Amino acid sequence: MGNGLCSSVLNVKRVCITLAAVFIGLRAVVEASTSRSKKMMEVEGKINRLKRHAVKSVQSEDGDIIDCINIYKQPAFRHPALRNHTIQMAPSDNPSITITGIPEAFTKRDTGSSMFGTSQLWLKKGSCPKGTIPFRRIEKNDTVKASLPVDYGRKKARNSHPSTEMDENKVQNLLQSNHSMAILMTEGYSYTGAKGDIKVFNPHVEYDDEWTTSQIALKSAVLQDYECVESGWAVNPGVYGDRKTRFFVYWTADSGKKTGCFDLTCPGFVQTSSEIALGAAIHPISTTDGLPYQITLYLFRDPNTGNWWVQYDEKTNVGYFPPELFTYLPQTAQTVQWGGEVYSSRIGGFSPHTSTQMGSGQFPILEESSGYVKRIRVRDNSMILKFPEQIDHYTDEFRCYDVRFLGDYTEDPEFFFWRSWKE
């Protein structure tokens, strides 16, 4: 009798514990769902406010809608550090194109390039008036793809992993889980600018949660929480909703853990140009057997304000990353990188490896069929744009993403390009 009573009591306790666990689990699910719903409502509210600020809209032939937004209503000023920010409409100095460190016969290449320039598709259908910025409209469905709405537009955090490829400091800045890089780099000096001509392709991206970029990046030397400003072209379905090649800028103040984003998907970058839309499709695109199209990018620090400006195709100052976003970059950068990057959970030791490509997706042998960066230049505290004094080239996965660095037998003595393939 007593044993039966004890057994019944124990069974009741087990049921109560099970019910309590189920209740706690359901409550957590409900709270998470409620929190996500609130964040979605916040994101939707921000999108609607930006639409209301549009003084004009342009329907691009590729499906994008470009809203011409009052320059003072742009997303940057939602950042707590920028609420009282005064817009710098143009750089305070004319960035020097004086070249040193290479033969005089090659300096003529720094006043122009023999490659073909590009434009943006939306400009075929209209333009934005002065006093506005072209904002590529973000749809609610775009933000749903992110794990959390607040993570939309942000690169996933990069966790370093060990390697014997390079010395420890460089490894910590380069090797990161789920990211594969093939780059040319210079470091060890105080850099205030970097420039290059990037050939534009439309590489294959296998899955919607993967992306590929070709860019110029300036970074601080802090290893685990490095600060970075970047610009280049990207194929990123998770941010842009398709697989078109698009112009981008990017920043982070903590290696992408909690800060930073592509373009204007979060507060930070201050746009000043009414001619270039961040995230807009680039046109035309190079093909391996066609004409070579490129974009020329120059990222440089304004000596008076500390703003990091992005200049597009030698003539258009798109906007800047304010120093208030960073701790170390307001002074100088310690590392400059040119090259390609692929994000995927299917790289490294994963089998099968992703087929997402980098650059042109071709082996780097022939200039005509390979992705590259040409006219590589840096600027230091001398304020002179020049060829880097020291260069390293590096790849995480040489069997999949490779680089070739040519220092001889070329018109410009330095030349860099990359590729990818699936084993």
Map residue 395 onto helix, strand or coil.
Answer: strand
Cβ within 8 Å of residue 177, ≥6 positions away: 158, 159, 160, 161, 348
The pairing of strands 270-271 and 282-283 is: unpaired
SS3 (DSSP) at 34: helix
Please pick, among 187, 210, 227, 230, the residue that the annotation labels catalytic.
Answer: 230
Alpha-carbon 313 to chain mean position: 18
Q: Which of 341, 368, 389, 397 is catalytic?
A: 341
- Has 230 been annotated as catalytic? yes
Distance CA 312, CA 307 (A): 16
C-alpha neighbours within 13 Å on the C-beta side of residue 149: 21
Q: Which residues contact 193 (CB under 8 A, 6 or more apart)?
A: 95, 298, 299, 300, 301, 377, 378, 379, 385
Active site residues: 230, 341
